[in-house]
Amino acid sequence: ANNDDVTKAVERVAGTYDVTPISSVRMHQMKRYVLDGVKEVALKEPLPDDVEEEKVPPCTFEQFEVYAVDVAMSTGDGKARPGELRTTIFKRNVEAQYLLKTKAARQVLAEVDKKYPTLPFTLRHLSDIRTARLGINECITHGLLTPYPSLHEYSGKVAHFKCTVLLLPSGTSRVTGLALPAYFKTEKKPDEDTQKFLDEIAEKEAKKAAKKAKRKKKNKK
């Protein structure tokens, strides 16, 4: 399977329930110390005239890969836009290197490399918030830090779900993430083909759960 197959499946199911995938949300491959790997999956294909969204390069899934499954659905147009609030959450780009000019920026980067070399952090966790605010922009400009922007969907409600999955020979296994709550009810129902597609997934999940319960019971004896 490839990432385009997943994008089409997401759009197909979303359309059945009359909701829209948030176009800027991506699923990413994960590796040790790398949250956002090279391989990624779009929830929605960008329109030909949509210059704000970049097309995701094609990729093929392989066994033993790990992915962060990030799903956001909207009752609106599915276009998340930057809000008025400035972000305070950033992540170190471990592959980027640059000789910073200002003392404040060098101090910020040195502290980030020491305390948060691979995971996201917030400005308030740095020792000197004033210096952090002065030096952060130079780090961002040269690609050393990646900001997590505050995005807003102004035309509808949004439901957001995230989990981590492993691609194993026996199938896809979810290893993190809570059970999905019912966000809203709808009278809409999938068409026959989509329902069959969803039933197949549910059947596989039920079989895996049964096997897991059986192994657990056997181990207790």
CATH code: domain of residue 106: 1.10.10.10
| Residue 76 and residue 11 in one domain | yes
Task: With a cut of 90, say whether residue 45 has pLDDT above it.
Answer: no
Task: With a cut of 70, say whether residue 84 has pLDDT above it.
Answer: yes
Distance CA 30, CA 156 (A): 31
| Residue 24 and residue 76 in one domain | yes
| Residue 75 and residue 157 in one domain | yes
Contacts of 47 (CB under 8 A, 6+ apart): 53
| Residue 102 and residue 114 in one domain | yes
State how many domains the chain has. Answer: 3
| Residue 108 and residue 19 in one domain | no
Domain that holds residue 206: 190-221
Task: With a cut of 60, say whether residue 51 has pLDDT above it.
Answer: no
| Residue 76 and residue 166 in one domain | yes
Burial of 38 (0-12, 13-18, 19+ CB in 10 A): exposed
What confidence score (pLDDT) does residue 103 get? 96
74-78, 149-153, 159-163, 217-221: segment of lowest average pLDDT? 217-221
pTM attached to this predicted model: 0.78
- For the chain, report the end-to-end CA distance as a whole number of angstroms: 39
Distance CA 120, CA 142 (A): 18
| Residue 31 and residue 54 in one domain | yes
